[in-house]
Structure 1
Amino acid sequence: MTVLISNPPTEKFSHPEVTAKGETRAQVAYTGTKTLWFNTGTLCNIECVNCYIESSPTNDRLVYLKFSDVTPYLDELDAAGEGGIEIGITGGEPFMAPEIIDIMEAVLQRGHTLLVLTNAMQPMMRPRVQDGLKRLQAEFGPQITMRVSLDHYTAGKHDEERGAGSFELSQKGIQWLGEQGFNIAIAGRTMWHEAEADARVGYDGMLKALGVELDVNDPTALVLFPEMEEQADPPEITVSCWGILNKDPADIMCASQRMVVRRKGASSATVLACTLIPYDDAFEMGVTLEEARRDVPLNHPFCASFCVLGGGSCSA
C-alpha cells in the first residue's frame, strides 16, 4: 500500500524516495548481472535528431573506453561467479573507439556473449575494423550479435532522423555483416506510430531485399523501441504501480543491468544504473560493480516512459 508523506517535493522526479504527490517512489532491487554494458564513448559519425545520449561528432562528454578500462570489470564478473553473461557494447558509435576490436576479443575470450550496437556505417566498414571483425567472427561467431540501428525500413523516415544517405550506408553495412555470417539484429523505433505488425512486415521486406534472413516476429531480433523525450510528462512510478500494471520489478532493466562509462577528465571509469541516463549524477553507482549492486529509485522520466510503461529493454 502506498504511504502518503507530508511536505512532498513540488516537482516531479525531484526526490529519490517521494513523488510530487507525496507517495512512496518505486525502487528496483538488484538481482544479479544479466547484462553489463560498456559505453565506448559519445562520439559518433552522425548526429541524430532525437538521440537520448546526445551522441555526435563533437560530443566527448563520455570519452573512448580503453582496453585497460574494461578488463577490471571482466575480472569482477569472474570473481562474482557471473561468467557467460551478456556483454553489451554501445556508444556513440562503438567502432570509432580505437581499441574496440581488442575490447570485443577480451569479452569473447572470457566466454561471454556479445551484443554490439552500431549504425553499421563508415566506422564499421573501415578495412582495419572489417579485418578484425572477420577474425572474431571466425573464432567466436555464435557468441556475437550485431544489432544495427535502423530507425525505419524506408529511407525517407530513417534519413529524417539520421541524415540524408544514412539509410543506404547502413543497408550496405547490414548486407556486409550478413555476407560474413554474423548474427544480426535490428533496432527500430516506434516514433511514427504505425501498427507494430505493419512495421515488422516492412522490415521483413527490406531485409529480404538485402538477402538477410531475420525473424522479424522475434522481439529480440527486431527490437522496436518506445520513444524517450526529455520534455515528455509521464506519471511517476509508485510502489503501488507494480500491482496496478501487473509488472514485476525484477523485469526492469536496472534490476540486472549496469553500464560502464568514462567521463571526460575522470581518473577512472564508473558504473551507472542505466544505459539511458548517462549524465544524471543520481544514477552513478560507483567505480566498481560491487558498489553498484544496490537498489535504484525510479526517479527519472525515462524510468516511466521507456522501462515501466513502454516495456523497453536494451538487452537481448
Structure 2
Amino acid sequence: MKDNAPHSANIGKFQDRFVTADGQTRASVSLTRPETLWFNTGTLCNIECANCYIESSPTNDALVYISADEVRAFLDQIEDRGWPIREIGFTGGEPFMNPEMIALTRAALERGFEVLILTNAMRPMMRRQMREGLLALRRDHGDRLTLRVSVDHFRPELHDAERGAGSFAKTLEGMKWLRDNGFRMAVAGRTVWGGTDAESRAGYAAFFAEHGFAIDAQDPGQTVLFPEMDETVEVPEITTACWGILGKSPTDVMCASSRMVVKRRGATAPVVLACTLLPYSPEFEMGATLREAEADVQLNHPHCAKFCVLGGASCSV
C-alpha cells in the first residue's frame, strides 16, 4: 500500500507536519463547515484500473467492508456532535461489492441526509438484489439519492484504456438502467488525456445528449473532472502565506468540510481520516470518533497541494 513517503521529485519536502522544507510554517485547515461524511465501503472492486489512487482491485481488501451498524454508529455521532452534515458519501473500491450496500444507503437516507454513491455502474450494481434494493430506495426517498458514475472519458477507447476492454459498454448499460428508472446521476471524469476544460465538457455534453442522460456537463458538481494525482511530479509545499498569494481560503479545501470513515483489515473498529485521497497515510488518521476528527489538518502531502489547493478539486457535489 502507498504511504506518506515523498517521491524523488519531492525529496526533502513533506517531512515535518508543521514546517516546510525551507523553514516556513506549513498551512493547516480547520473543520469549519462539516458538510459531507464519507464512508469507504471497502477497497475490493470488480476491476483494476491503470491509475487508481486507492489501488482498488478484485484482491485488495486493505480496507474491509464496513457494516450498516458501524455506519449507524457514526450517524449517531453526527447528531451528538451537532455537525451540520448535509450529505453522506459512499466510495470504494466499488461500493456495490459490499453486500450491505443497500442497508448502508437506507440508514443514511432514513436520517434525512442526501446520499452520494460513487460507482462504476457495472456488474456489482446490476445484480438483481442491488437493482431491487436501489428501486426501493428510489421509491422511498426520491431525489435525495445520487449515483456518480465513473466515466473516465467520453470516448470509449480512452475510458477502456484506463479500466479495461469492454468497460465503457458495461458502464453505459448501467447508466441506461439508472436513466430508465429515474435515478439522479452525475459523472466523474479525468483530465489525464489533456484538452481544455471546455473541450472536455463539450465532449461529455455530446455523450449525455446522445444517450438522454439528464446530466449538466457544464456544472462541475454534476460533471466532475479530476486532475490526475501523479506523485512523480514536483509540487510546492503550501505555507500559511500561500493563502494570500494564491487568493484562496483554507475554508475552500476539502478537509474544511469533510472526513472519511474506513475500516482497516484486522481492525476491530473503523477510524476517521482527514481526507478521502489519503487512505494509506498514517498521519492523516485522526482517531476512532468524530470528536477526535475535529482537529486541524496539516497539509503535509503532495496531494494537498496539487489536487486540493492548486487543483481546487472536491469529491462532493
TM-score between both structures, scaled by the size of structure 1: 0.95
Q: What are the equivalent positions in structure 2 for 1:199-238 lying under 5 Å apart?
A: 199-238=200-239
> Is 1:58 the equivalent of 2:59?
yes
| 1:30 CA displacement | 1.4
Contact 2:186 2:215 in 1 (8 A): yes
Match of 1:113?
114
Stretches (4+) displaced over 3 A = none
- Aligned partners of 1:151, 1:232: CA distance in 2, in Å? 21
> Is 1:191 the equivalent of 2:199?
no
| 1:141 CA displacement | 1.6
| 1:207 CA displacement | 1.6
Match of 2:124?
123
> Is 1:41 the equivalent of 2:42?
yes
CA RMSD of aligned residues (A): 1.2
- Aligned partners of 1:184, 1:149: CA distance in 2, in Å? 11
Match of 1:16?
17
| 1:69 CA displacement | 1.3
Match of 1:261?
262
Match of 1:92?
93
The amino acid that maps onto 1:54 is E
Contact 1:39 1:91 in 2 (8 A): yes
Match of 1:71?
72
Moved more, 73-82 or 14-23: 73-82
Secondary structure of residue in 1 paired with 2:225: strand
- Aligned partners of 2:311, 2:228: CA distance in 1, in Å? 8
Contact 2:50 2:162 in 1 (8 A): yes
> Is 1:172 the equivalent of 2:173?
yes
In the alignment of these two chains, the number of paired residues is 308
Contact 2:36 2:87 in 1 (8 A): yes
Contact 1:16 1:25 in 2 (8 A): yes
Secondary structure of residue in 2 paired with 1:124: helix
Contact 1:84 1:113 in 2 (8 A): no
Match of 2:301?
300
Match of 2:316?
315
- Aligned partners of 1:245, 1:277: CA distance in 2, in Å? 24
TM-score between both structures, scaled by the size of structure 2: 0.95
Match of 1:154?
155
Secondary structure of residue in 1 paired with 2:272: strand
Secondary structure of residue in 1 paired with 2:152: coil
The amino acid that maps onto 1:301 is P
| 1:205 CA displacement | 1.3
> Is 1:242 the equivalent of 2:254?
no
Contact 2:81 2:290 in 1 (8 A): no
The amino acid that maps onto 1:193 is G
- Aligned partners of 2:175, 2:257: CA distance in 1, in Å? 29
- Aligned partners of 2:191, 2:282: CA distance in 1, in Å? 29
Moved more, 196-205 or 301-310: 196-205
- Aligned partners of 2:146, 2:169: CA distance in 1, in Å? 21
Unmatched tracts of structure 1, length 5 or more: 1-9
Relative contact order (C-alpha < 8 Å, sep 6+): which is higher? 2
The amino acid that maps onto 1:43 is L
Unmatched tracts of structure 2, length 5 or more: 1-10
- Aligned partners of 1:99, 1:156: CA distance in 2, in Å? 33
- Aligned partners of 2:91, 2:204: CA distance in 1, in Å? 22
| 1:80 CA displacement | 2.4
- Aligned partners of 2:186, 2:12: CA distance in 1, in Å? 39
Contact 1:29 1:296 in 2 (8 A): yes
| 1:83 CA displacement | 5.5
| 1:296 CA displacement | 0.2
The amino acid that maps onto 1:50 is N
Secondary structure of residue in 2 paired with 1:123: helix
The amino acid that maps onto 1:228 is M
Deviations 1:92-118, CA, capped at 9 Å, x for gaps? 000000101000000000000001100
Deviations 1:263-290, CA, capped at 9 Å, x for gaps? 0000100000000000011000000001
Secondary structure of residue in 2 paired with 1:207: helix
Contact 1:271 1:288 in 2 (8 A): yes
